[in-house]
Amino acid sequence: MSLDQETFDQLLATIRRFVEERLVPHEAEVGESDRIPDGLIREMRELGLFGLSIPEDYGGIGLDVEEEVRVTIELGHTSPAFRSAFGTNIGIGSQGIVIDGTEEQKRRYLPKLASGEMVGSFCLTEPDAGSDAAALRTSARRHGDAYVLNGTKRYITNAPSAHLFTVMARTDPEKTGAGGITAFLVEADTPGVKLGKPDVKMGQKGAHISDVIFEDCRVPAEAIVGGREGQGFKTAMKVLDRGRLTISGVCIGIAERLIRDSLRYASERKQFGKPIGEFQLVQAMLADSDTECYAAKSMVLDAARRKDAGETITKQAAMCKYYSSEMVGRVADRAVQIHGGAGYLAEYGIERFYRDVRLFRIYEGTSQIQQLVIARNMLKEIQG
């Protein structure tokens, strides 16, 4: 553990209270307006949420992976758009620097990301490179002691509010695969950085994505993460290993929330003269949801502990993301079913979660990519 037990328990209790008292009451409003009130973002900054996983030496709280997963489960008890506001700062928008950055890059950016003064964002996906991330085409050509970036990144979370992008670009046009890719730190106000219109999404209203376009965008060589060309793909994969555990934590938190809401509804709603929770077919749905959620939680905490102990958990992270995101999809579907007509109405919020959770099976690697990563690692294991 990075924090002592008492401090960590206090942090968890504070976050639980913040979620219940400050975020849950704003869920419907954020879902309708597609905007998180500025005051709530300020409160998130004050609580240190933008720096949860950033090391203490650089102004963050420095949670280890298990602690971060536990906190993320709490944060999952409300609409995922709230966590998304700082999710890139503690995840894919900062971890490239934390894991592979130079000391100078850490000192320059991490304190501002930890305080929330800067929003960080991660640019890997492109119009023609999503699951096949190594096929990306954004180029970074060397000109003296600078690089010039050209290309378009797509579906970039928090791009509309970002100050800093971690951009994966091809520095070696001769190498078509992962080896020719380099990660750059590009500040959003650099000439040649443009944003597309915020995309209109199915769910997770209040969290915004857009294209990020680089047109002859010139950055100094010191912008390369870690200072070495050709390491960007590996940096991205390491970032995603941790990110997939965190996304799993969000899925578990939302599943817990939906199970709690379904249980309450099943105890109150009466049909045929008794609460519907007394009918065995409804009980079966509740039992399946709780069992699957417990299984996901057990796996994610195990994988997080292994990562904290220094193990390579690429396979386990893929398993957790695959299982947890599919699990919360089933739990949300059952929650709609248990709520019946009410589950389909905006007023009860269940349909909003149903739309929100659909994304988890897609971003930070689709379920099919997770299956591929799992199987490839199994084959590697038997080959020794």
Piece in contact with ligand COS (CB under 6 A), picked from 3-11, 182-190, 343-351, 364-372: 364-372
Q: Which is nearer to ligand COS, 276 or 369 (CB)?
A: 369
Piece in contact with ligand COS (CB under 6 A), picked from 42-50, 233-241, 298-306, 325-333: 233-241
Residue 98, burial from CB neighbour count under 10 angstroms (0-12, 13-18, 19+): buried
Under a CB-based contact definition with an 8 Å cutoff, are residues 252 and 328 in contact?
yes
Fill in the per-residue mask, 313 to 352: x = in contact with ligand COS (CB under 6 A), - = not in contact: -x--------------------------------------
Under a CB-based contact definition with an 8 Å cutoff, are residues 105 and 97 in contact?
yes
Q: Which of 163, 234, 330, 358 binds ligand COS (CB under 6 A)?
A: 234
365: contact with ligand COS by CB under 6 A? yes
Q: Which of 133, 149, 254, 303 binds ligand COS (CB under 6 A)?
A: 133
Active site residue 278: no
Under a CB-based contact definition with an 8 Å cutoff, are residues 94 and 51 in contact?
no
C-alpha–C-alpha distance, residues 178 and 34, integer Å: 36
Task: Give least dist CB 313 to ligand COS, A.
Answer: 9
Structure tokens at 238: 């390491």
- The catalytic position among 67, 68, 256, 364 is 364
Q: Which residues from 175-204 bind ligand COS, rule CB under 6 A? A: 177-179
C-alpha–C-alpha distance, residues 61 and 75, integer Å: 16
Q: Which is nearer to ligand COS, 196 or 275 (CB)?
A: 196
Q: How far is CA 333 from CA 30, 48, 152, 300, in A?
A: 22, 34, 35, 22
Q: Which of 18, 165, 233, 323 binds ligand COS (CB under 6 A)?
A: 233
Piece in contact with ligand COS (CB under 6 A), picked from 50-58, 163-171, 189-197, 230-238: 230-238
C-alpha–C-alpha distance, residues 267 and 317, integer Å: 36
Task: Give least dist CB 377 to ligand COS, A.
Answer: 9
Taking CA 87 as the corner, what is the angle to CA 84 and CA 88, rounded to the nearest 5 degrees?
Answer: 110
Under a CB-based contact definition with an 8 Å cutoff, are residues 303 and 66 in contact?
no
Q: Which is nearer to ligand COS, 177 or 340 (CB)?
A: 177
Q: Which residues does residue 125 pair with via DSSP β-bridges, in sequence order?
A: none
Q: Which is nearer to ligand COS, 260 or 376 (CB)?
A: 376
159: contact with ligand COS by CB under 6 A? no
Task: Give least dist CB 310 to ligand COS, A.
Answer: 14
Q: Which is nearer to ligand COS, 172 or 290 (CB)?
A: 172
Query: Where would I find the H helices in the chain?
Result: 5-18, 27-33, 38-47, 65-75, 80-90, 95-100, 103-115, 232-268, 280-308, 314-339, 350-357, 367-383
Task: Give least dist CB 302 to ligand COS, A.
Answer: 18
169: contact with ligand COS by CB under 6 A? no
Q: Which is nearer to ligand COS, 240 or 266 (CB)?
A: 240
Q: Which residues from 47-106 bind ligand COS, rule CB under 6 A? A: 92
Q: Which of 7, 14, 131, 283 binds ligand COS (CB under 6 A)?
A: 131
Q: Which of 24, 134, 286, 295 binds ligand COS (CB under 6 A)?
A: 134
Q: Which is nearer to ligand COS, 178 or 299 (CB)?
A: 178
Q: Which is nearer to ligand COS, 126 or 256 (CB)?
A: 126
Q: Name the nearest CA neighbour of 150 among 203, 210, 214.
A: 214
Under a CB-based contact definition with an 8 Å cutoff, are residues 248 and 325 in contact?
yes
Task: Give least dist CB 186 to ligand COS, A.
Answer: 16
Q: Name the nearest CA neighbour of 243 among 39, 91, 67, 86.
A: 91
Structure tokens at 21: 């008292």
- Find all residues with CB under 8 Å of 255, minimum gap 6, and list them: 76, 289, 292, 293, 296, 324, 327, 328, 331, 332
Catalytic residue positions, numbered: 364
- Binding residues for ligand COS, rule: CB under 6 A, are 92, 122, 124-125, 131-134, 177-179, 233-234, 237-238, 240-241, 314, 363-365, 369, 372-373
